[in-house]
Amino acid sequence: MKKVDIAFNSIMVADDVIVIEAEDRSASFTGVSTLTGNTGEFLIGSSATESAENFHEVFNNYNALTGALGPAHSEISGATVSFTFLDSSVTTASATYYGGTSPVIITVTDRLDSYYNYDRQILTRSPHYYDVSDPSGDSIDSAELHIFVYQGARYTDRPYSPTYVVRSSAILASSTKMTFNISEFAKSFAEGTLAKNGNQANWTPFVDVFPFYTKGGRTYSLAPSLGIAYNGYGYFEQEVNPTTQTALAQSNNVVMSHINTYTQLAVYAENTSKVVFEKDGEVVQVENISSDVTYSTGGIPFVATGSNLNLELDANESEFEYFDNEYINEYFFDYSDLNPDKAYIERTDGDIEVVDIRYISECKYEPIDLTFVNKFGALQSVTFFKNHSLSMKTDEESFRRNTLGGVNVLGVTEGEYSTAQHQYKNLYKSGKQSISLNSGFYPEQYNEVFRQMMLSTDCWIEYNGKVLPVNISDSDINYKTSINDKLIEYSIKCDFAFDTINSIN
């Protein structure tokens, strides 16, 4: 980022010009004694400080209306006006003074990206309120937000022009702030995706907000607020602007895993420094996490344990026979270092979160994984260990026709009455399949996981070797407790989110 400081040290002369340039963009500002309505004019004040204030106001108006200089932040301190260009493509910036005297001193310096921290967490399925107010506490006339929402590399993939510009002058009398809900603008950019090969990705777009407000006919800019959006939500009891302070991006710290698969944990990168896996008290795996999120899939990274699925098989032994042998499974579970039983998540604040990993060996049914987007905006999987059943519902449209030959039926002699033809003929028929899943026994802590599963808008299952989208069709759930229900298990019905017959045009 480049910073340009313009220090006024004396009174300007009419028609003196200041030109600000940043790469291939520029803006020209002319000092005048009387405003004529031309773009970029600012009044020469009776002092250097007054000229600086007028110049600062005109710059804010110019960039708020045109965005010609891209995402930029202006500040004023006494008679010095400073501009920071947050567009990472700006590697050179300058300001040139054209006039008979030199009442300004111009300096250009580099400003580190870390000067503006990504410290705002936005859960897009709940309202996220953004307040604009005057720092002095005075009432304001209107407010405006320039919102840049983007996926990809931080800074470098930010668009030149705002994704959204939101303006409002609907303000209560003598109000000192205006409030916007910005989560709606990021909702379509934040999502979780599950590729057909099973690779998961949590897309957490960057949301950069540049606020402006007007007061007494002048336009002012505030420091930009940089944030990351997550496809999550807060509950009613969490009140406004819910955020997550934990490192683990799921509610359960007891994880049930199938013995023949790896265990995968999602964490908040901003809150996590390291994940350590242990087995029988010995460290078997260490994963370092960068809290500096530089790409929009890095906000919620996945940390996976090792797996014993890649061990060499005997030449005469099929993979099915190998894994169907419960004694071999038991041996590798007991003696392999690839099935950790604990995960220690070290947070950036020094605290540690502990996750217990428990394994289930299911030898009768083929376990099915259901993956969904939880309340943290992370993809999370739950294994349904017990039996499942498939069903189908069809839909049709038909009409009634005359079956006399030569009228509507081909292949029948004219006038012949055919009993082999359909009087009720289907014009259209389609089907949608459903699958009922049974979880097997889970600890009571999973009640919250199943609640989030029911509230999820995106779900997938891995079925017959394919990743398929589903929608949970059950509309209610009764939470179970060990006191009342002893052993806790759930049955979930899902509709496949596609027609059985390929009907995509």
Q: What is the pLDDT of residues 169-179, one digit of tens each?
A: 766 666 788 99
Q: What percent of the chain has pLDDT over 70?
A: 89
63-77 mean pLDDT? 85
Measured distance CA(466)–CA(468) in Å, rounded: 6
254-261 mean pLDDT? 85
Q: List b or e across 22-47, with b for residues whose CB sees 16 or more CB atoms inside 10 angstroms.
A: beebebebbbbeeeeeeebebbbbee
Top mean-pLDDT range of 60-74, 96-110, 427-441: 427-441
Measured distance CA(26)–CA(162) in Å, rounded: 18
Lowest mean pLDDT among 30-44, 146-160, 371-385: 30-44
Of 20, 179, 5, 208, the C-alpha closest to 116 is 208
Measured distance CA(444)–CA(142) in Å, rounded: 51
Give SS3 for 114: helix
Top mean-pLDDT range of 115-119, 181-185, 308-312, 323-327: 181-185
* CA-to-CA dists, residue 419 to 199, 403, 407, 413, 426, angstroms: 55, 8, 14, 13, 17
pLDDT digits (tens, 9 = 90+) for 266-299: 999 999 999 999 988 888 889 999 999 999 999 9
User: What is residue 405's predicted lDDT score, i.e. its pLDDT?
Assistant: 65
Note whether 44 and 12 are within 8 A (CB).
yes
DSSP 387-399: -EEEEEEEEEEEE
Q: Please tell me which residue, 102 or 211, carries the higher pLDDT value.
A: 211
> Cα-flanking dihedrals φ and ψ of residue 496, to 5°?
-65, 135
305-329 mean pLDDT? 47
187-205 mean pLDDT? 90
Tokens 């949970």 belong to 472
Please give the mean pLDDT across all residues of the chain.
85
Output the pTM of the full model. 0.83
Residue 319 has pLDDT above 50, yes or no: no
User: What is residue 411's predicted lDDT score, i.e. its pLDDT?
Assistant: 63
Res. 160 pLDDT band, cuts 50 70 90: confident
Res. 410 pLDDT band, cuts 50 70 90: low
Res. 326 pLDDT band, cuts 50 70 90: low
32-42 mean pLDDT? 87
Strands 368-373 and 302-304 turn out to be: unpaired
The domains found in the chain, sorted by start residue, are 2-113 (2.60.40), 116-238 (2.60.40), 244-361 (2.60.40.10), 365-505 (no CATH)
User: What is residue 485's predicted lDDT score, i.e. its pLDDT?
Assistant: 58
User: What is residue 103's predicted lDDT score, i.e. its pLDDT?
Assistant: 82
DSSP 8-41: E-S---TT-EEEEEETTEEEEEEEESS--S-TTE
220-224 mean pLDDT? 89
Measured distance CA(269)–CA(378) in Å, rounded: 12
pLDDT digits (tens, 9 = 90+) for 109-157: 998 888 888 889 999 999 999 999 988 888 888 899 999 999 999 988 9
User: What is residue 176's predicted lDDT score, i.e. its pLDDT?
Assistant: 82
Beta bridge partners of 122: 229
> What are the structure tokens assigned to 381, written together?
């999987």
335-348 mean pLDDT? 82
